[in-house]
Amino acid sequence: MVKQRVAVLLGGKSGEHEVSITSARSVMSALDPARWEVLPIGIANDGQWLTPSETRSALDAGVRSFEGAGQPLLRAGEALAALSACDVAFPLIHGTNGEDGTLQGFLELAGIPYAGCGVAASAIGMDKALMKALFREAGIPVARYSVIRSWEYTLAQNDSMALIDQAIGYPCFVKPANGGSSVGVTRARSREDMPAAFEAAFAYDDKAIVEQAIVGREVECSVLGNEHPEASIVGEIVPDRDFYDYDSKYSAASTTELYIPAPIPEGAARDIQRTAIRMYQVMGCEGYARVDFFLTPADKIVANEVNTIPGFTSISMYPKLWEASGLGYTDLLSRILDLALDRHQRRAAR
């Protein structure tokens, strides 16, 4: 078997830079060496592109963040040449300029096959306001929410607060519309918590989502496929604090518990799997994504969001759900890359 070269793209400018590096380390160590030759290409936290050798040196040195190295994209000749010589790219850059369709659009323009969702689905998946509007239009149940822009809040703070009081209530969650890993997310228990919550959200985006706090269990389902997606078994997350925030997800001190399979009724699990595939298709997802829900005490599901580049360490929920469904981590990675190549060939044949 002739090996194919895969460019693993990692790092990036978002607040999830370190998470991306952690995911990429895990993926690179698990890719089948009989099938894939791995070429890492790092992007520093200021947007500079590193060469593969610079990236490997940084990873070998155990760095948690790429800093003070590289070239701007249009002058990063060595990195771009290496990328163009690859058979497929595996973007593992979370957040803005990695997960929001911009990197996917660049790869489309360059004619490079890449793993995961395309431009439109990635952009929608990154913008929670667009995502929730799309789901609501499709008849998929979502929590009550409002969208507040930074200038609206600055110019008419009382009007914004009145809207939240009337339409959402408390407790509620305030989130940057474009973001991930719960960065900039606050659980506001009362109106008095809102100024600090908005300050945290607007530090990452000019658009914030204010969302009803759903009383329910946090459950997730992994979806895989292009034209005919499949859903994994369902897992449950029991956070070690008020909500599943950044530290709860990634801190070594976290005592958050994962239950796979989720201890929920079979009917609810089937409903979650069906709805996960429906959400995946409504967004136009391809390749892979993780779909998150709340399950109320009455066993009714409420859609939360679709994560188009979920955490990808060997202990992350996405691969663990597939492992429990019978698809191991290494085989899962090959399947994702095969789906990328299949999609590219299908489009090239038009």
Q: Say what the pLDDT of residue 341 is.
A: 98
Q: Is 47 left (phi over 0), alpha (psi -120 to 50) or beta?
A: left
Q: Could you tell me if 314 and 220 lie in one domain?
A: yes
Q: From 131, 127, 125, 167, select the one nearest 146 (Cα to Cα).
A: 167
d(CA 44, CA 162): 42
d(CA 336, CA 339): 5
Q: Could you tell me if 207 and 221 lie in one domain?
A: no
Hey, what are 214's tokens? 């759903």
Q: Could you tell me if 83 and 174 lie in one domain?
A: no
List the beta bridge partners of residue 266.
Answer: none
Q: Say what the pLDDT of residue 58 is.
A: 96
Q: Could you tell me if 261 and 316 lie in one domain?
A: yes
In a domain, 21, yes or no: yes
**How far, in whole angstroms, is CA 112 from its chain's centroid?**
21
Is the pLDDT at 324 greater than 80, yes or no? Answer: yes
**Beta carbons of 27 and 9 less than 8 angstroms apart:** no
Q: Say what the pLDDT of residue 245 is.
A: 46
Q: What is the mean pLDDT of residues 314-329?
A: 94
DSSP H or E segment with residue 181:
none
Q: Say what the pLDDT of residue 66 is.
A: 95
Range 322-331 contact pairs with CB under 8 angstroms and sequence separation of 24 or more = 322/222, 322/224, 322/232, 324/232, 324/233, 324/235, 324/260, 324/261, 325/222, 325/232, 325/233, 327/224, 329/30, 330/30, 330/31, 330/32, 331/32
Last-in-domain residue among 99, 114, 129: 114
In a domain, 126, yes or no: no
196: domain CATH number is: 3.30.1490.20
In a domain, 124, yes or no: no
Q: Which residue segment(s) compose the domain that 158 sits in? A: 144-212
Q: Could you tell me if 179 and 272 lie in one domain?
A: no
46: domain CATH number is: 3.40.50.20
Contacts of residue 347, defined as CB under 8 A and 6 or more positions apart, other chains included, come to: none
Place of tokens 């095969």: 338
Q: Could you tell me if 281 and 294 lie in one domain?
A: yes
Q: Could you tell me if 190 and 259 lie in one domain?
A: no
**Beta carbons of 144 and 212 less than 8 angstroms apart:** yes
Our count of domains for the chain comes to 3
User: Beta strands 36-43 and 4-11: pairing type?
Assistant: parallel
Q: Say what the pLDDT of residue 253 is.
A: 56
Question: What would the pLDDT profile of 155-193 be if each residue is shown by its tens digit?
Answer: 888 888 998 999 999 999 999 998 765 678 999 999 999
Q: Could you tell me if 95 and 153 lie in one domain?
A: no
Quote the crossing angle between the two packed helices 119-126 and 266-283, to the nearest 10°.
120
Half-sphere exposure of 323 (CA within 13 A, CB side): 14
Question: What would the pLDDT profile of 103-137 be if each residue is shown by its tens digit?
Answer: 999 999 999 999 999 999 999 999 999 999 999 99
Q: Is 331 helix (H, G, I), strand (E, B) or coil?
A: helix
- The pTM for the full model equals 0.92
Question: What would the pLDDT profile of 228-267 be if each residue is shown by its tens digit?
Answer: 999 999 999 997 756 544 544 444 455 778 999 999 999 9
Q: Could you tell me if 222 and 207 lie in one domain?
A: no
d(CA 222, CA 35): 24
Q: Could you tell me if 184 and 233 lie in one domain?
A: no
